[in-house]
């Protein structure tokens, strides 16, 4: 019933054809959601803004399992945190969740939640990475199958975490070498791309025999995922992680881009993620965009503020090195705004050869993007799209979707045992976001109060 109502309401809202209109993020779009969903969202966001719950999440989960038994504790989690932020466990549950999103004008961006544990022999062995490869390949198929009728501009996107397919130890080692002067030739993207394509043995002198074998196996896994994704028309958005890994991750993305973002492939099929909270990001983004343009490669970027602020700063303090992050929140905002401007200008020059996901819950950033898209003549549902996390900032996602923009919700899925540790770690990394979800809580309470007091229907915007 709710789905039908939503469809009817969505069909009234087509892409705006006139001038640019500032979007209203006042919770008006909550009229599309059921009271149960809004209540759960409010309760879960309030709980997650309570620091002890996030800090001791794993211990609390273990404690509740012991006290209540795994069935009851599982049921509680499913009705709360898991239900709010996770699509489900089976392909059918994921499809159900995505159908609801699609009815609201939103699209799926599936993410396989994997957590490497560098000290665990099981979670760093070759078999573990091969298992993750299978999960990624299934995720490609699921992503493809989710859109019954992908229109010409309805791109299918999926998140890819490279450290699910290769070890963080190897990425750390490679990063150390990439940063040394003179390493560039041996570790060039072209050389890695060649090894990926031909499957021939690659020997890198800075790595020992075991590391070389792992690099070769990792390149093979990456190649298989992208090959399969390309065949299924699924674009892969590679996550950015810590600065002690990112140069290696970018090298691997560049190698994949040489092969899969080449002219005539219809790409970009492999996108990189840029974190505006790092001081050098604008410059790196400018150089990468110009290099792709010169090489005639398609270029895809997910632009985020960055999730690992506390750890980056702690690592810099611990190692006595310079803090790589922006000095404060305002500086990160300015950096995001400059990166956004840079990318939108590139999109307006290169058209479909350059794609951007504005992956942010920040209302100002989203507003800036929509305004500049209009000024630069970038179509609403073209090479620029928006991304938010499932269960977060629906007032922003729904308003964008209703106005005709392409909006993706990043969706983790999997069993409770797999996903809860992942969610707790993400929550710990995104404390400031959960804390900042106060405005969303306020809008949710307003809407619920309005419904309880029976103040009639809102007029859709
Ligand atoms: C679809 C999607 C994909 C994502 N993929 C990635 C990814 O691959 N890698 C990744 O790292 N993150 C990723 N994120 C998370 C993202 O980086 C942010 O943590 C999150 O979106 C919050 O930023 P915001 O722009 O939404 O909003 P805001 O709430 O406005 O900004 C919060 C962010 O501002 C920054 N910040 C806060 N306080 C300070 C301070 N004192 N000094 C400097 N900066 C500060 C931090 O980056 C913080 O996360 C993704 C998010 C989405 C929605």
Distance, CA 357 to ligand 1 centroid (Å)? 13
Look up the pTM and report it. Answer: 0.91
Instruction: Identify any residues that bridge with 107 across adjacent strands, giving them in sequence order.
Output: 408
Residue nearest to atom 5 of ligand 1 (CA): 239
For ligand 1, whether the C-beta of 277 sits within 6 Å is yes
Distance, CA 368 to ligand 1 centroid (Å)? 17
| 3-state secondary structure string across 50-105 | CHHHHHCHHHHHHHHHHHHCHHHHHHHHHHCHHHHHCCCCCHHHHHHHHHHHHHCC
Distance, CA 156 to ligand 1 centroid (Å)? 23
Q: Please give the angle made by the CA atoms of 45, 53 and 244, to the nearest 5 degrees.
A: 95
For ligand 1, whether the C-beta of 305 sits within 6 Å is yes
CA atoms within 13 A on the CB side of 263: 6
Give pLDDT, residue 8. Answer: 34
pLDDT tens figures, 367-397: 999 999 999 999 998 999 999 999 999 999 9
For ligand 1, whether the C-beta of 344 sits within 6 Å is no
Residue 453 to residues 293, 335, 442, Cα–Cα distance (Å) = 57, 43, 16
Give pLDDT, residue 119. Answer: 56
Distance, CA 165 to ligand 1 centroid (Å)? 24
Give pLDDT, residue 302. Answer: 98
Token pair, residue 307, equals: 């999730």
Element of type H or E holding 108: strand 107-111
Q: How do the pLDDT tens digits run along the chain, 461 residues long?
A: 333 333 333 333 334 456 778 898 988 888 888 999 999 999 988 888 777 777 777 777 778 777 777 778 888 888 888 889 999 999 999 999 999 898 888 999 999 988 766 556 566 689 999 999 999 999 999 999 987 654 434 799 999 999 999 999 999 999 999 988 766 678 889 999 998 888 788 888 889 999 999 999 999 999 999 999 999 999 999 999 999 999 999 999 999 999 999 988 888 999 999 999 999 999 999 999 999 999 999 999 999 999 999 999 999 999 999 999 999 999 999 999 999 999 999 999 999 999 999 999 999 999 999 999 999 999 998 999 999 999 999 999 999 999 999 999 999 999 888 888 888 877 777 766 666 678 889 999 999 999 888 765 554 44
Give pLDDT, residue 398. Answer: 94
Contacts of 319 (CB under 8 A, 6+ apart): none
Helix axes 438-452, 394-402, angle to 10 degrees: 80
Distance, CA 176 to ligand 1 centroid (Å)? 25
Give pLDDT, residue 239. Answer: 97
Distance, CA 299 to ligand 1 centroid (Å)? 22
Whole-angstrom distance between the N-terminal and C-terminal Cα of the chain? 21
Instruction: Identify any residues that bridge with 304 across adjacent strands, giving them in sequence order.
Output: 275
Element of type H or E holding 166: none
Give pLDDT, residue 6. Answer: 38
Residue nearest to atom 51 of ligand 1 (CA): 359
Query: Is the CB of residue 243 less than 8 Å from the CB of residue 324?
Result: yes
For ligand 1, whether the C-beta of 329 sits within 6 Å is yes
For ligand 1, whether the C-beta of 337 sits within 6 Å is no
User: Which residue is it, tokens 């951007």?
Assistant: 356
């Amino acid at each position: 019933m709710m789905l039908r109502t939503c469809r009817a309401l969505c069909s009234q809202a087509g892409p705006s054809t006139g001038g640019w209109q500032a979007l209203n993020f006042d919770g008006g779009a909550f009229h599309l959601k059921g009271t149960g969903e809004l209540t759960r969202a409010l309760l879960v966001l309030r709980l997650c803004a309570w620091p002890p719950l996030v800090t001791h999440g794993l211990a609390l989960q273990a404690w509740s399992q012991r006290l209540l038994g795994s069935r009851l504790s599982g049921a509680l989690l499913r009705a709360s945190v898991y239900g709010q932020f996770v699509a489900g466990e089976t392909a059918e549950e994921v499809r159900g969740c995505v159908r609801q999103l699609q009815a609201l004008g939103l699209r799926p961006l599936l993410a396989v939640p994997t957590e490497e544990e560098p000290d665990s022999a099981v979670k760093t062995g070759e078999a573990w990475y091969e298992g993750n490869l299978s999960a990624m390949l299934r995720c490609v198929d699921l992503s493809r199958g989710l859109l019954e009728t992908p229109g010409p501009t309805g791109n299918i996107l999926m998140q890819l975490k490279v450290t699910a397919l290769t070890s963080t130890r190897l990425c750390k080692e490679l990063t150390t070498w990439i940063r040394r002067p003179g390493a560039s030739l041996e570790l060039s993207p072209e050389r890695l791309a060649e090894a990926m394509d031909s499957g021939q043995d690659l020997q890198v002198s800075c790595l020992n025999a075991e590391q070389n074998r792992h690099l070769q196996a990792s390149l093979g896994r990456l190649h298989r995922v992208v090959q399969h994704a390309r065949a299924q028309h699924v674009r892969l958005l590679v996550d950015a992680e810590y600065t002690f890994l990112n140069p290696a991750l970018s090298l691997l993305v560049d190698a994949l881009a040489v092969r899969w973002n080449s002219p005539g492939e219809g790409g970009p099929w492999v996108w990189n993620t840029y974190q505006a909270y790092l001081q050098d990001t604008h410059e790196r983004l400018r150089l990468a965009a110009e290099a792709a343009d010169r090489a005639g490669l398609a270029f895809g970027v997910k632009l985020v503020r960055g999730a690992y602020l506390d750890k980056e700063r702690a690592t810099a303090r611990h190692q006595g090195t310079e803090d790589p992050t922006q000095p404060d929140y305002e500086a990160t905002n300015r950096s995001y705004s400059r990166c956004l401007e840079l990318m939108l200008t590139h999109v307006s020059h290169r058209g479909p050869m350059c794609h951007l996901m504005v992956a942010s819950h920040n209302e100002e950033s989203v507003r800036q993007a929509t305004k500049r898209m209009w000024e630069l003549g970038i179509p609403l549902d073209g090479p620029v799209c928006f991304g938010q996390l499932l269960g977060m900032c629906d007032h922003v996602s729904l308003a964008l979707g209703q106005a005709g923009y392409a909006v993706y919700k990043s969706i983790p899925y999997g069993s409770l045992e797999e996903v809860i540790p992942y969610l707790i770690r993400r929550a710990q990394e995104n404390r400031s976001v959960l804390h900042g979800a106060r405005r969303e809580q306020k809008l949710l309470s307003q809407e619920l109060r309005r419904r309880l007091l029976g103040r009639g229907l809102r007029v859709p915007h």
